[in-house]
A and B are shown apart, each in its own frame.
Chain A
Amino acid sequence: MKAFERALRRSALPMAYSQGFNPHPLMVFGLPLSVGVTSEAEYADFELLEKVNPREFAERLNMQLPRGLKVTAAAEKLTRNNIMATVSMASYAVLVGSPRDTDLSSVRKNIKELLAKSEIMVQKETKKGLKEVNIRPMIHRLEALEVPCGEFKDSMSYGKSKDGMKDTCTNDFIINYARRLANESAMLKDETAMPKEESAIQKDEAALPKEKDVPDLNDQNLFCLSMLLDAGSGSNLKPELLFEALKAGGGILTKLLKIHRTGLFVVHKGQIKDPLDPAVLKM
């Protein structure tokens, strides 16, 4: 938030500010991300004092945004309905791991079984404590895809399966992330063969069991779960929770490696739409 606030100041765009002793720029972000979750589709409303061409807005702001943050589209909004209130769905690409010998059809079977249920009960944390909630109606789409990560997976076969579904994940972020993890695991494998350097490790730390925090992909298969879930102030399903339900069901998927948000949506007249859709901007 602060990064945007300061970037806006640097851009000298005519932002509207709140009143009072601690004025801040009037902007609202749709649905905050949890720590560690990445996204290629975030939305925010900005209130300006005068009309600015949306393309110019995007360009001027982009010049001031730090590495990793980029405005990819902008449009003028004609209503006061803010983004936080109108967003109701989100799509994610989730990188998961499973034991070496798991294949795509088993994962798909796992999913089919889960979706066949009319009720999936989970413990959800709310402000009032843990609550039993049925998350089935919050799942609008859940699919599994294979993740190619270069030489590491040279024994995989790509291509369409019998029922015509695309089998391979095409999300660049997930593919690159998986590749990086695979490379690091390969390096780790080499390093464990090398003798370790002595260092004056303090006594407490040396006593701790050596748990590896770098995901070791040397014995895992990777998949990408593509999902469309309820999101927003009304009803919200976090991908982690769905993953836990999936894991509990079949025991096929074992590790959640990365959650990446790929889209936010507004439901307009029964249709799922992008928040920048012209019909939505007038909503």
Chain B
Amino acid sequence: MPLRISDEILGSVEKPSRYIGNEWNSVHKDPRSVDIRFAFCFPDVYEIGMSHLGMKILYHLLNERDDTFCERVFAPWTDMEAKMRENSIPLFALETHDPVRDFDFMGFTLQYEMSYTNIVNMLDLAGVPILSSERTGDHPFVCAGGPCAYNPEPLADIMDFFMMGEGEEIINEVMDVYVEWKKSGKSRDEFLNSIVKIEGVYVPRFYDVKYNDDHTIKSVTPISTEYPKKIRKRIIKDLDSTYFPDKVIVPFTDIVHDRVMLELFRGCIRGCRFCQAGYIYRPVRERSVDRLLEYARKLEESTGYEEISLTSLSTSDYTGLESLTGSLIDEMEKKKVNLSLPSLRIDSFSLDLMEKAQKVRKSGLTFAPEAGTQRLRNVINKGVTEEDLMKSVTLAFNGGWSGVKLYFMLGLPTETDEDVAAIADLGHKVVDVYMSVPREKRGKGLNVTISTSSFVPKPFTPFQWEAQDDVETLKRKQALLKEKIKSKYIKYNWHDPELSFLEAVFARGDRRVGKVLIKAWEKGCKFDSWGDHFRFDAWMEAFKECSVNPHFYANRKRPFDEVFPWDHIDVGVSRNFLKRENEKAYRGETTQNCRVNCSGCGAAVFGGGICIE
């Protein structure tokens, strides 16, 4: 039965193109001809979700299956949600506009902690019980994957199961089991019992959490010996031979990242100690230049996009960068297609690459020193020197660029006011470099942007034991930095520390914060990362009413022997390695990257990628 998303409703909301579907390369199947209807749910609006590479891959991968029809679902914006509730229109999928509650699966991707209220809201809008324990045979299975799934506990009461790691293989394995289960007519629990045998599947209800008197965790144990003590993530060993779509959906409307994305490699060799992605995606596995050129051509032909972006955690570290960009730039120039190279690392930034990238349109340049002093950069293992930065901006300004963005974090472990003030110094030095470049060479109108976010300690990093600076301290540091910046050419942006505080609670949260999440949603919290919708007061009320102390999670330094809510998840990198790295951090010692020297992080257990090279 088609839903009544009438033209009147569409005409009365912002950006109606968010809700119409039918984009080029979107998939349309007859729902009656498939066994599985999968709703891929991105817990944010269309423009954000459509920029997510993971969904592009899994959407097309699932649709390759004859027995499955995968459709997309995004969080309706607040104006559309109001219309939906008034007109009793439940959450619908974009391709067919069918109600999601009639599907077999609702699969959420967990990209950032502050999207969790949207998940709760979407379940409610769909008419699906929020708690896993309340779902019956009439409801879809609700599952999740993605980077935040590595600490699944805050969502343990909501999700039926999680899929850890890279989804390309595990999702097909789960679907295969589902098809058999559906035919058998067995109970929901029996389905969960069958998939728990698949490596990477975590079913929270099969695990019991016990707490100590001081509120720390005593243990997380399976309720039966047939369930694994630890769940190991899945990785794709050979990226060249795994599925990669040769066509992706081309949206009608502007989205955040509106271009072809070429994923160069997964993982990162650098081991910056604050960065969760660098650890959870290990070991490093590259795609070959030939394969990437092949994808670039196919995707360009099937989409007609005007820009290609090279995506990875650290593009400068891609071993085939020179030959890849050489060929790409030549080929794409003829088709009037731009090349985008986001976040290049400073120390490998070469004149060569910059010159080549200059042939097509110049985008602004971004550098991420993260810390103001060498001392602090060594603590966080960001192996970049001031000399590197100055050399790079000199080259940039000589090449005609005049826009530079510098990213930093406030609240890193061992940070002092001197470190904060040094950020301003770096900014001033960059301005000085610009001024010293001859007028004819440099671009007109210098603008330097210093942007600081607040450090959030994350699981599976050497800093997972650290305390986050409290909100007052972060605000004081922001004010200090602002005062130290004297140049009119420098603009200073900072992130809301209250939002970062909540992020820190959920990043290292356990099942108890899950109750706070639901309470906060009941109070109207959603779209928390959208400034004007963020309601810190409602969140704090929710914590109080649930008798949960957020500072326990965010601002407390953990002893090395504390049991973490995520200890039963195995990402390869070992806890011992992370502890050694934490101790090195406090001694101000750096660790070399994987290519120079193997530090025995534990990712070698997967037997793939850079570890075996």
Contacts and interface: CB of A to CB of B under 8 A. Distances in A.
Interface of A: 2-3, 5-11, 17, 21-24, 35-36, 64, 66-68, 181, 184, 187-188, 191, 196-197, 199-205, 208, 210-215, 258
Interface residues of B, number: 39
A202 B524 contact: yes
Given A9-B304, A9-B305, A213-B9, A21 B23 contact: no
B340 to A, nearest CB: 13
Interface of B: 1, 4, 6-12, 16, 22-24, 81-83, 85-88, 124, 127, 130, 250, 252, 300-306, 335-337, 361-362, 522, 524
Given A22-B361, A205-B85, A35 B16 contact: yes
B301 A10 contact: yes
A66 B25 CA distance: 8
B222 to A, nearest CB: 32
B335 A9 contact: yes
Most chain-B Cβ atoms within 10 A of its Cβ — which of A64, A66, A204?
A66
22 contacts: A2-B252, A9-B335, A9-B337, A21-B361, A21-B362, A23-B336, A35-B16, A66-B24, A184-B4, A184-B6, A196-B88, A197-B127, A202-B522, A205-B82, A213-B8, A213-B9, A213-B86, A213-B87, A214-B6, A214-B8, A214-B9, A215-B6
Contacts of A66: 22-24, 252
A127 to B, nearest CB: 23
B22 A68 contact: yes
A8 B305 CA distance: 10
B6 A3 contact: no
A203 B103 CA distance: 28
B22 A214 contact: no
Contact of A10 (B1, B22, B304): B304
Contact of B124 (A199, A204, A208): A199
Nearest to B125: A199
Contacts of A17: 336
Contacts of B8: 213-215
B11 A188 contact: no
A194 to B, nearest CB: 10
Contacts of A181: 6
Contacts of B12: 213
Given A8-B304, A66-B22, 14 more contacts: A3-B250, A3-B252, A6-B303, A10-B301, A17-B336, A21-B361, A24-B306, A36-B7, A196-B88, A199-B127, A208-B86, A211-B86, A213-B8, A213-B12
A137 to B, nearest CB: 29
A95 B335 CA distance: 44
Nearest to B23: A66
B354 to A, nearest CB: 16
Nearest to B337: A9
A130 B11 CA distance: 23
Contacts of B7: 36, 258
Contacts of A187: 1, 4
Contacts of A214: 4, 6, 8-9, 87
Which 8 pairs of residues, A with B, have the shortest CB-CB distance? A6-B304, A9-B304, A10-B304, A36-B11, A66-B24, A21-B361, A213-B9, A67-B22
A212 B304 contact: no
Most chain-A Cβ atoms within 10 A of its Cβ — which of B82, B86, B87?
B86
A3 B24 CA distance: 8
B43 to A, nearest CB: 17
A228 B305 CA distance: 38
A184 B5 CA distance: 10
A37 B302 CA distance: 29
Contacts of B300: 9
A269 B337 CA distance: 43
Contacts of A212: 86-87
Nearest to A24: B306
B10 A36 contact: yes
B167 to A, nearest CB: 27
Contact of A64 (B82, B252, B304, B305): B304
Contacts of A9: 300, 304-306, 335-337
A49 B252 CA distance: 26
Contact of A203 (B127, B252, B302, B524): B524
Contacts of A196: 88
Contacts of B362: 21
Contacts of A205: 81-82, 85-86
B4 A7 contact: no
A7 to B, nearest CB: 6
B11 A35 contact: yes
Nearest to B303: A6
A192 to B, nearest CB: 10
B437 to A, nearest CB: 21
B304 A5 contact: yes
Given A6-B306, A208-B86, A213 B6 contact: yes
A181 B8 CA distance: 11
Nearest to B25: A66
A205 B7 CA distance: 22
B158 to A, nearest CB: 14
Most chain-A Cβ atoms within 10 A of its Cβ — which of B12, B24, B88?
B24
Contacts of A210: 86
